[in-house]
Chains A and B, each alone.
Chain A
Amino acid sequence: MSYLDVIDTLQSIADGVLFGATYSLLGIGFTLVFGVMHKINLSYAAASIGAAYASLIVLSVVKAPAIFIFLLAGLAGGIIGGVIYVVCFRFIPQANPLATLMSTVGALLLIDEIIVHATVGIPVPYPALFSDVIVNAGPFTLRGDLMFMFALGCLSMLLLLGLLYRTKLGLATRAVSQQPAAAQLCGISIPRVNGLTFVITGVVGGIAGAMIGAAIGVLSPLLSLPLTTKGLIVTVIGGLGSIPGAIIAGLLVGGFENLFQYFRGVTERDLYLMLLLFAFLVFRPGGIFSPAAGRD
């Protein structure tokens, strides 16, 4: 391996880790909902892409600087998250995990089809910020748009952690995720906390969707299934219900993805990612930061 190969390898890993911030955000969304409700929301990645589309529509009507697209996407994501809670979870018995699994699949298909219907199936270009900025650090180049995305991802994660660990709502959320019965006895309304969790994860997902659109340059409903898979992989590698785990796992998955792509090409990339997941399931089934015990 020559010097240039080493540089190229490190460069692709660095790009992957920067892009991995989006996977971290998606992983946080899956993990939060799982932590609070012990349910999977399979429509999450589709809702994130949907929120990114919604922000485009708003921006095409109202003239605003491009930076607002992330705020709008977060807002749209929050609204979609709330709607998804009402239609997929609110009126279905808690004790029936299969029914909510299926209803979120229905929501996934519905969101994808709404997008296809609204855009006549044509991928839509998405504005990138700071794409003309390129930082040269020695032999490496860092793309400005990816760096901005990474910074934005870190900022949203910090805000989310602040929300969870510094506010009353965060306290209630963590209480419900630890012991729903006891939380209810303390006067916490579980449906309200569940609904608000969906809104919060929706906001995070909307920002992630906008970041993905900005990084790839186009939005397409074809993104939603691969992103669902990636988000779930991040959730499992990070450990169910663990937010720091999801953050680290997202960056890890992003880095490894680009590494495999560099060495084995784009067609075999995901195959090795699945093997990585299997390795984690066999050797560390609890994820990177496995919680104490007693979690399903």
Chain B
Amino acid sequence: MDFYLGLAQIVGVHTLLGLSAYCVLLTGQVSLAQAGFFAIGAYVAAMLTVLAGWHIAPAIAAASFVAGAIACAIGFPALRVKGLMLVVATLAFGEAVRLFFFNFDYQVARGEVKIGPAGGEGFRQIRFFPEHGWSTLDVLMFIWLFVALVMAALWWMDRSRAGAVLRAVGEDEVAAQSAGINVTAVKVAAMTVGGFIAGLGGGIFAHYTAHIEHAQFGVALATFAIAYPILGGLSSVFGTLIAVIFVQGFLIEGLRFLGDWRNLLFGALILLAMNVRPRGLIDAATIAAVKRMRIRNREPGNARTQGAE
């Protein structure tokens, strides 16, 4: 049972990471900086709970705001460039953050032992959950509370004018600009929200893994962050969730019985998925089909109630 709870925790945190990239991808920008914001969130939240003795909730909130602010600051210069240049710029930012934490040594003597991030060795003493007696289930509920909040917020945003503006910029920048949309502001806003969500995910990640180090936040994680929304499709927030379940649940955990061959299949299945469904697992056509089905199911019901009258 604990295995499945642990898996659900991983899925939750990776969903937050994927949703942070989803925000940025909606505006048509590919950002490989999400792992960097995730790392910032993780280190800030962990330092606040371990070194400053904060409760986890304000620590995570503070970490999100810090990551969001840095994302906003990075957004202005980085979004001057587009396409491949932006991919490389954000990749470089993510790597710079990772290398910063690789060299970041800030240890405080607490009694006999020194605590705090110790450069390449990482940050070991993150024990908020065991110290406060949270069970695995409590942690799981805590994580999914945030996942649900973020998903609901993004789903609502998608149906509001803000979502239409984001998608307009993503579809055709020139057309959006001529319709009076401030493209730079929209992109920076999306980047900021993405950084905020990534920071939130990072803060939670630091506390449930209990040990963070620079190697966890490398190019691989940045690639996973954009892989979820692209694999799942950008038409709906649920695409990202389904892609995370597909990758973490099926490709990584579900295929464990294959042993060594699992890793081989991993890349091949991503390749196959992109060839078969280039617009993601849940694309616009799927959503339209689901809507049609709901309407068709409603129609006979309506007819019956009318007949009863």
Contacts and interface: CB of A to CB of B under 8 A. Distances in A.
Contacts, number: 136
Given A110-B268, A117-B264, A232 B88 contact: yes
Q: Is the interface of A mostly helix, strand, loop or mixed?
A: helix
Interface in A44-101: 87-88, 91-93, 96-101
A235 B84 CA distance: 10
Given A268-B99, A277-B88, A277-B92, A101 B264 contact: no
Contacts of B25: 98
A103 B278 CA distance: 9
Most A CB contacts (10 A, CB to CB) among B77, B88, B100, B269 go to: B88
Contact of A225 (B100, B119, B218): B218
A240 interface: yes
Nearest to B77: A282
B83 interface: yes
Nearest to A234: B88
A203 B288 CA distance: 45
Interface in B50-92: 77-78, 80-85, 87-89, 91-92
B120 A285 contact: no
A296 B80 CA distance: 11
A266 B293 CA distance: 59
A285 B80 contact: yes
B38 interface: no
B230 A233 contact: no
Contact of B271 (A110, A116, A267): A110
Nearest to A232: B88
A77 B231 CA distance: 28
A101 B80 CA distance: 21
B274 interface: yes
A240 B30 contact: no
A102 B279 CA distance: 11
B148 interface: no
A186 to B, nearest CB: 26
Interface string A256-287: 00000000000110110011011001100100
Q: Is the interface of B mostly helix, strand, loop or mixed?
A: helix
Interface stretch (B160-168, B182-190, B219-227): B219-227
A202 to B, nearest CB: 17
Interface string B79-120: 011111101110111011001101100000000000000011
In the A-B complex, the 8 residue pairs with the smallest Cβ-Cβ separation, listed nearest first, are A110-B267, A106-B270, A109-B267, A99-B278, A106-B271, A103-B274, A271-B99, A274-B96
28 contacts: A34-B84, A40-B84, A87-B271, A92-B274, A92-B278, A93-B278, A96-B278, A99-B230, A99-B279, A100-B274, A101-B226, A102-B230, A102-B270, A105-B227, A105-B270, A106-B274, A112-B267, A113-B264, A113-B266, A117-B264, A225-B220, A228-B219, A271-B100, A274-B93, A278-B92, A278-B96, A281-B81, A285-B85
Interface of B: 25, 30, 77-78, 80-85, 87-89, 91-93, 95-96, 99-100, 102-103, 119-120, 218-220, 223, 226-227, 230-231, 234, 260-261, 263-264, 266-271, 273-275, 278-279
Given A96-B279, A267-B103, 8 more contacts: A101-B226, A103-B275, A111-B267, A229-B95, A274-B92, A277-B89, A278-B77, A285-B81
